[in-house]
Structure 1
Amino acid sequence: MRDLDETDLEILSLLAANARRPFSEIGERVGLSGPAVSDRVTRLEESGVIEGFTLDVDRTMLRAGVPVMIDLEFAAAEAASTDGVDPLDAARERARDADAVEHIFVTAEGDLRVYARVEGRNVREWVRRLFDGVPVADYAVTLVDEFEWTPSIEGVEFALTCAECSNTVDSEGETTRIDGEVYHFCCPSCLSRFQERYRRLEDGV
């Protein structure tokens, strides 16, 4: 896959500030014609860097639930779920499917950290239900007083991440499309592992 150049990053920055900005206006800012900007945006969409133009709703303004940070530690690898799925993968899938979860992080130690806004007062009961059946060794719930999320797409802070291991994907990485979705990988090994696990899930193994 090709590297993102400075013009790509500037276009992304302008779209992030205002997704309705006309391509002609962006072109004036980056030194390209409107059609040339359109072509670049199309390539960014096809490569999965841009996944549509959506509303960015700040849930903190809506006060939708109690903001919490949940840290989960998992049992030893041999204590995997009964269906053979790795505990971390199983917990991450549960978190992805939960409407209350806004951000998911995986630590270098293989633990899971989840930021969520949970309805109701019994947060621990919500956590218990969400991860029921997943061999969690221990977990901690922290009430969040203030939260600030300031992702950047300037310079080196913008990077694609591997769908398998979450490492940064560089120009030597791999890109593939599975069932209409574009996935990026840092190396062929990660691509192979992802495809194998995907096939097992499809086959119900």
Structure 2
Amino acid sequence: MIELDTIDRKILRALAEDATQSAGALGRRFGLSQPATWRRIRRLEEAGAIAGRQLDLDFAALGFGVTVFLGIKLAAKGRVSLEDFERAIMAIPEVQTVEHILGAYDYRLRVTARDIADFERVLRRRIMTLPGVGSVDANVMLTEERLPGPLG
């Protein structure tokens, strides 16, 4: 685990809000030079505190107005391997995340679709036909709020 000081935490919070900010802009904001800020960011990346930077798409603006969270319990019969299931489910483009979890379900999926009819098509033709799928529980997302995380 990396030791974080106040400036490290501020840099992480700022990058979590907008990962496109330059080291120079962050340095000016927090009273550091561009090279000093860049070294801090590099140290955070090398320590694994920054695992990468990603592009967040607005699915609704792209025509995907429905997000559904699925809980999937694999069937006991047939004993499909977890790797085979994961490989098959990740090949479905509408599936945005696949989480192997402990609890009532074996997997939690985030699925995006154009509308409910499109989601039903994905569910019936792609997800339910996969080998090993036992039961499925669906929760339609109404709204989403993002929190900055536990950076203190």
TM over 0.5: yes
- Give the letter for the 1:141 counterpart: A
Equivalent of residue 107 in structure 2, options 101, 112, 118? 112
TM-fit CA distance, 1:41: 1.5
2: CA distance between counterparts of 1:46 and 1:2? 10
2: CA distance between counterparts of 1:3 and 1:79? 48
* Cα deviation digits, residues 67-108 of structure 1 (max 9, x gap): 3221111234x8532xxx3x3x54344444432122334443
Contact 2:17 2:148 in 1 (8 A): no
Q: What value does the CA root-mean-square deviation take over the aligned residues? A: 2.9
Q: How high is the TM-score relative to the length of structure 1?
A: 0.56
The number of residue pairs the alignment matches comes to 145
2: CA distance between counterparts of 1:10 and 1:97? 38
Name the structure 1 match of 2:143: 147
2: CA distance between counterparts of 1:105 and 1:42? 29
Contact 1:100 1:117 in 2 (8 A): yes
- Give the letter for the 1:15 counterpart: L
Where structure 1 has 5 or more consecutive residues not aligned to the other structure, the ranges are 157-205
Comparing both chains, which one has the higher relative contact order based on Cα–Cα distances under 8 Å and sequence gaps of 6 or more? 2
Q: How high is the TM-score relative to the length of structure 2?
A: 0.72
Contact 1:124 1:141 in 2 (8 A): no
Equivalent of residue 98 in structure 1, options 68, 78, 92? 92
* Cα deviation digits, residues 164-202 of structure 1 (max 9, x gap): xxxxxxxxxxxxxxxxxxxxxxxxxxxxxxxxxxxxxxx
Distance 1:11 1:95, change over 3 A: farther
Where structure 2 has 5 or more consecutive residues not aligned to the other structure, the ranges are none
| Identity between Structure 1 and Structure 2 (%) | 26
- Give the letter for the 1:73 counterpart: K
1: CA distance between counterparts of 2:21 and 2:146? 21
TM-fit CA distance, 1:11: 0.8
Contact 1:9 1:154 in 2 (8 A): no
* Cα deviation digits, residues 101-130 of structure 1 (max 9, x gap): 22334443152111111353423222124x
- Give the letter for the 1:100 counterpart: E
